[in-house]
Amino acid sequence: MKSLTVSLPGRSYDILIERGLLDAAGVITRSVLLHATRIAVVTDSNVGPIYASRVATRMAAAGFQVKVITIPAGETSKSLDMLGELYQEFLSFGLTRTDAVVALGGGVVGDLAGFAAATVLRGVDFIQIPTTLLAQVDSSVGGKVAIDLQAGKNLAGAFWQPKLVIMDPDVLDTLPQAVFMDGMAEVVKYGCIKDGDFFAFLAQRPDRKLLMDEIEHILFTCCDIKRAVVEQDERDTGERMLLNFGHTLGHAYELAGGYERWSHGQAVAAGMCAAAHLGVKLGVTPPDLPERLEGLVSALGLPTAIPCTAEEYAAAVGLDKKGTGNDIRVILLDALGHAIPRRMDKQALLEALV
Ligand code: NAD
Ligand code: ZN
């Protein structure tokens, strides 16, 4: 088993990574929750039918009373309505402050169940069992939990660290190809911003089967990078912004496509390539870097560019709104494996992009 410990002031938690670990979920959970009686397992309508009864059985065998709560799959479940439903389900189950919530699913389930755990009864323990690649390398680590509001994504949320993250790479076998590759965009991002050797390692195996052969190493490397960043900057005021590489421009593409045409991973992939070209224009990024990045991105079946108008870019950086400030921070690469934040005038950024 590979494991790492996220150490934050006053508390720390383990991330455990091993094939087949789902079958040990009960025993491991008991080892960190000595006094809990009830476990509310939140899952979604795709993940639940495949994995929930397995997890519930193991939890029951470890002496917990278990209730499985299944939400509809998809981003629309990260809503105030669904949050309210979870509160009701928790309380009708008899959940108390010494009990716990388990998130069994992708980032949607993790964010929603995590926010519900952070706020019900002023906060109960929370365990993540992430089942998408994105959730394993990104959303289950770092303690950000949230729901979407009408005004935008992730606008109500909290920092609520899990007690434990249980990662079973085998669950990725049932992921649709597009969802797997979406997660790969974030994996590539880690190589770009922090580890050039890891980037080269990925570039040698840009194929799902080859990547799955090395999946424990991949998950460990990504989680270790995120761990280090989060330990330095739990509240997202400094170092953590490097994780936004590819995301400012990616956001423009998501917006341009009405959040339907392009998935988050596709938008981030194209955003990273655009940021690499921008960096070359600004004299920050080595000239051969965009081609190397585009080679890996396209080998993974992700887009290297997405059409976007000046107006769409302007909307994404807030230039269409008054009073949002003239500067924006973009993350650029000064080497493959090293990122730097750069403040730019928004107008100058737009001119460099279109
Ligand atoms: P998701 O949770 O919607 O999962 C994608 C799809 O895969 C869903 O249809 C789901 O039902 C299905 N699925 C999940 N696991 C499966 C499995 N093992 N087998 C078969 N199908 C499976 O999407 P996601 O990409 O995991 O997460 C996206 C969410 O994560 C967004 O809401 C985003 O805001 C959030 N996020 C949060 C953070 C954070 O730090 N909290 C970071 C990044 C993203
Ligand atoms: Zn992302």
ipTM: 0.99
Q: Is the CB of 154 under 6 A from ligand 1?
A: yes
Give the closest residue (by CA) to ligand 1 atom 17. Answer: 175
Q: Do 94 and 197 sit in the same domain of this protein?
A: no
The full DSSP string for 247-297 is HHHHHHHHHHTTTTSS-HHHHHHHHHHHHHHHHHHTT-S-TTHHHHHHHHH
Name residues whose C-beta falls within 8 Å of residue 312's C-beta, 6 or more positions apart in sequence. Answer: 252, 255, 256
- 128 and 184 both lie in a single domain: no
% of the chain at pLDDT higher than 90: 85
Both 161 and 186 in a single domain?
Answer: no
pLDDT of residue 234: 83
Residues 160 and 203 reside in one and the same domain = no
Q: Domain residues for 121?
A: 2-172
First to last CA, the chain: 48
Ligand 1 pocket, residue 128 CB under 6 Å = no
Query: Is residue 216 located within the same domain as residue 155?
Result: no
Number of domains in the chain: 2
Average pLDDT value for the chain? 95
Q: In this structure, are 184 and 152 located in the same domain?
A: no
**Are 188 and 212 members of one domain?**
yes
Q: How far is the CA of 296 from the centre of ligand 2 (A)?
A: 17
Q: What is the pLDDT of residue 311?
A: 87
From the CB of 265, is ligand 1 less than 6 Å away?
no
Which residue, 154, 172, 190, sits at the end of a domain?
172
Atom 21 in ligand 1: which residue has the minimum CA distance?
175
Asked if residue 184 and residue 41 are part of one domain, the reply reads no
CA of 73 to the centre of ligand 1 (A): 9
Is the shortest distance between the CB of 304 and ligand 1 below 6 Å? no
In this prediction, residues 181-200 reach a mean pLDDT of 98
Position 216 scores a pLDDT of 98
**Whose CA is closest to 28, among 50, 73, 61?**
61
pLDDT tens, 94-120? 999 999 999 999 999 999 999 999 999
pLDDT tier for residue 319 given thresholds of 50, 70 and 90: confident
Q: What's 27's domain CATH number?
A: 3.40.50.1970
pLDDT above 90 (res 336): yes
Q: What's CA 29's distance to the chain center, in Å?
A: 22
What the block records as the tokens of 292 is 């190397």
Domain boundary among 139, 172, 205: 172
| Residue to mutate (ligand 1; options 46, 174, 177; most atoms within 8 A of CB) | 46
Are 144 and 156 in contact by the 8 Å Cβ rule? The answer is no
Of 6-15, 34-43, 210-219, the range with the lowest mean pLDDT is 6-15
The DSSP symbol for 345 reads E
Average of per-residue pLDDT across 243-259: 92
Residues 36 and 107 in one domain: yes
DSSP state of 31: H
Q: Of 172, 198, 227, which residue constitutes the final position of a domain?
A: 172
On whether both 198 and 145 belong to a single domain, the answer is no
Q: What is the pLDDT of residue 322?
A: 63
Residue 238 and residue 342 in one domain: yes
**Do 157 and 197 belong together in one domain?**
no
Q: Which two tokens stand for residue 69?
A: 């709560």
pLDDT per residue as tens digits for the range 18-76: 999 999 999 999 999 999 999 999 999 999 999 999 999 999 999 999 999 999 999 99
Q: What percent of the chain has pLDDT over 70?
A: 99
